[in-house]
């Protein structure tokens, strides 16, 4: 048996456990010879090279089931298919990681630069947004909130709520004109937009918005609406549509309401 490896010798050479080798034996991936007299397992030089190929493929994050399937029908075409399939999977993962990093960077930049923007009234041109509104004005119980959310579950799955961790609320133009600031709706922005959904959704066109970002509890929201509406009237503008409230940091991101960060965006046009 000098030309064969004991299970311990092979595991040490490849830095894998003997349990792993026993498992490969169990699933018929690498079968050693078995000596019934001493219960030892012996691996041939051929098994040594076969195991090296299996571990190479495994290190490419190819599953054992795929490796076993390939090993049962080895040829160049099958190897090409196996590697190309894995390459496609890696591309998908890489794109996902790039998108995740971009989202983290966006959130970091927002939080790190927010201090210099607090309590400043600015005009921003905001691109078109597409989504759905959930009216909460006549909702009186958590059960009704639940039912409203369930009715919109198809939108929630692909919304900015999950994709960007960003929840929006909204006041109607009518309520802002009447100085009613406690009747709000949720706005579910769909990201990315599926063409099939577009026909059923509300389109908020690109527009100029007067905006303010502030630190503090939600009960201060009305005060900041008053500031913006006063600015709009003083500067020759009028409210052009429904507002969007961006809850940048809310009670699910901080236990202190003094750390809540909100941005109010009100669409405007010049008075004629």
DSSP secondary structure string, 28-55? TSSPPEEETTTTEEEE-HHHHHHHHHHH
CA distance 15 to 180: 70
The pLDDT score that the predictor gives to residue 263 is 93
Residue 221's CB: how many other CB atoms inside 10 A? 20
Residue 260's CB: how many other CB atoms inside 10 A? 20
Residue 222: Cβ-neighbour burial (10 angstroms; 0-12, 13-18, 19+): middle
Asked if the model's pLDDT at residue 145 lies above 90, the reply is no
CA distance 60 to 86: 8
Checking phi first, is residue 219 left (phi over 0); if not, alpha (psi -120 to 50) or beta? alpha
Query: Which of the two residues, 215 and 160, has the higher pLDDT score?
Result: 215
Asked if the model's pLDDT at residue 210 lies above 90, the reply is yes
Using a pLDDT cut of 70, give the percent of the chain over it. Answer: 86
Calculate the average pLDDT of the chain: 86
Query: Which of the two residues, 114 and 74, has the higher pLDDT score?
Result: 74
Cα–Cα distance list, 228 to 70, 121, 129, 179, 244 (Å): 66, 7, 22, 12, 13
How does 135-166 read in b/e, with b if 16+ C-beta sit within 10 Å? ebeeeeeeeeeeeeeeebeebbebbbbeeeeb
Q: Where are the alpha helices (DSSP H) in 152-235?
A: 153-156, 160-163, 173-177, 195-198, 221-234
Written as six digits, the tokens of 243 are 């507002």
Place of tokens 């799955």: 157
Closest CA to 256 of 211, 218, 222: 218
Residue 257: Cβ-neighbour burial (10 angstroms; 0-12, 13-18, 19+): middle
Length of the chain: 272
The pLDDT score that the predictor gives to residue 21 is 94
Q: What is the pLDDT of residues 116-133, one digit of tens each?
A: 889 999 999 999 888 878
Asked if the model's pLDDT at residue 29 lies above 70, the reply is yes
């Amino acid at each position: 048996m000098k030309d064969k490896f004991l299970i311990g010798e092979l595991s040490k050479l490849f830095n894998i456990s003997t349990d792993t080798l026993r498992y490969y034996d169990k699933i018929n991936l690498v079968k050693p010879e078995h000596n019934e007299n001493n219960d030892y397992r012996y691996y041939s030089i051929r098994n040594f090279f076969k195991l090296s190929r299996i571990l190479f493929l495994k290190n490419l994050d190819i599953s054992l089931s795929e490796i076993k399937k390939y090993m049962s029908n080895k040829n160049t075409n099958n190897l090409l298919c196996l590697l190309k399939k894995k390459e496609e999977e890696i591309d998908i993962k890489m794109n996902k990681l790039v998108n995740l990093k971009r989202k983290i960077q966006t959130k970091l930049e927002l939080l790190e630069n927010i201090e210099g923007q607090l309590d400043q009234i600015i005009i921003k041109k905001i691109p078109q947004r597409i989504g759905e509104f959930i009216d909460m004005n006549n909702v009186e119980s958590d059960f009704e909130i639940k039912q409203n959310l369930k009715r919109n579950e198809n939108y929630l799955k692909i919304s900015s709520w999950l994709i960007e961790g960003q929840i929006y609320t909204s006041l109607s133009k009518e309520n802002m004109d009447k100085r009613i600031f406690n009747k709000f709706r949720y706005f579910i922005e769909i990201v990315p937009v599926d063409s099939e959904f577009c026909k059923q959704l509300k389109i908020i066109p690109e527009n100029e918005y007067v905006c303010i970002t502030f630190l503090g509890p939600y009960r201060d929201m009305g005060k900041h609406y008053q500031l913006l509406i006063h600015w709009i009237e003083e500067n020759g503008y009028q409210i052009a549509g429904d507002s969007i409230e961006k809850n940048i940091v809310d009670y699910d991101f901080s236990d202190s309401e003094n750390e809540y960060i909100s941005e109010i965006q009100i669409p405007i046009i010049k008075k004629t």
